[in-house]
Amino acid sequence: MMRGRIALMTAILALVSLAILGPALLVSAEGNVKDVRLHIKGPNVLGQDKMGSYDITLMDPIDRNWQYEVYVDARNITGASPLNIEPITGNLTGENKTFSADITATSSVGEMMMVINVSSPSGTLWYVREFDITVVEPIVISADIFNSGEVAIRNATIEFYIDDIFLSTNTLASLEPGASTTLSSYWVSDEIKGGWHTSKVVVDVNNDGIIDPSIGDIEINNKFYVEGSNVSATIYIMIGLIALMVGMMLINRQLKGKKK
């Protein structure tokens, strides 16, 4: 069976990086119009230099047209975007009051703010909403994947978990025999607790949603220790490298089966 000829060596390396974690800031708003509100859906914690997507809806009981601008403000704005010198801008109508904004976090840990200015076309009415975002240094989970078989890997699904909580999924579009690649995911939170945590990387070679080691699928589990808590600095710890070689064992098993 062709799937069984795929050999993977998967290694997971979890890095716990130095991160100063602080409480989320309060949200504030002001303006000379009192009957509108902005509903913001998106993360209030971002990793350094990482992007977050936000869906924003203006709630206006009166069918009015508005214009908006979105930008980032922080004590140190290095790495952040968009800035107030070149904000995200657009128009809202009575039929379309929802828009999206992609925000990139600062390069340094700490607190930053997404500012949303909404005003009438004439400029006589205005409303400002400030959405506070905590920027932390992420914990990085990396999977180094090596194809030591004779068949290329196509569209394998890689899933990342921390403490059995799903982080993200990635697709390995192609990996030729003898080639290797590294895929990563990030854990960002302002409530990381001290103590032991578990990490898991799942490699679904044929992307069927079922983890079957007999065809080369792999699940790697590991532990890492975080010293401190969400109110103190997290100590830099490197966890040992874990490597599993399954391909040759599977091929030998299949060859023995054919001889019987």
Look at residue 228 in the predicted model and tell me its pLDDT: 59
- Tens of pLDDT along the chain (260 residues) come to 444 333 333 332 322 222 322 333 335 678 888 888 999 999 999 989 999 999 999 999 887 899 999 999 999 999 999 999 999 999 998 888 999 999 999 999 999 999 999 999 988 999 999 999 999 888 787 777 888 778 888 888 888 888 888 888 888 888 888 888 888 888 887 777 778 888 888 888 877 888 877 777 778 888 877 765 543 333 223 332 333 333 333 333 433 444 44
CA gap 27, 101 in Å, rounded: 18
* Protein fold of 2-19+138-259: Immunoglobulin-like (2.60.40)
Look at residue 9 in the predicted model and tell me its pLDDT: 36
Look at residue 28 in the predicted model and tell me its pLDDT: 62
Rg for the chain, CA atoms, rounded: 24
Cis peptide preceding 138, ω within 30 of 0:
no
How much is the pTM? Answer: 0.64
Domain boundaries, the chain: 2-19+138-259, 28-136
CA gap 121, 170 in Å, rounded: 43
Look at residue 128 in the predicted model and tell me its pLDDT: 94
Look at residue 131 in the predicted model and tell me its pLDDT: 95
Indicate the SS3 state at residue 214.
helix
Instruction: Give the type of residue at 143.
Output: A
The two domains 2-19+138-259 and 28-136 share their CATH topology (first three levels equal): yes
Look at residue 168 in the predicted model and tell me its pLDDT: 86
CA gap 34, 153 in Å, rounded: 58
- CATH 1.20.1250.20 at 28-136, yes or no: no
Look at residue 98 in the predicted model and tell me its pLDDT: 93
CA gap 24, 4 in Å, rounded: 49
Look at residue 56 in the predicted model and tell me its pLDDT: 95
Which stretch of DSSP H or E encloses residue 248?
Answer: helix 247-259
Contacts 24+ apart (CB under 8 A), 28-35: 28/129, 28/130, 29/127, 29/128, 29/129, 29/130, 30/127, 30/128, 31/118, 31/125, 31/126, 31/127, 31/128, 32/125, 32/126, 32/127, 33/125, 33/126, 33/127, 35/60, 35/61, 35/62
Query: Within its chain, how far is the Cα of 35 from the centroid?
Result: 35
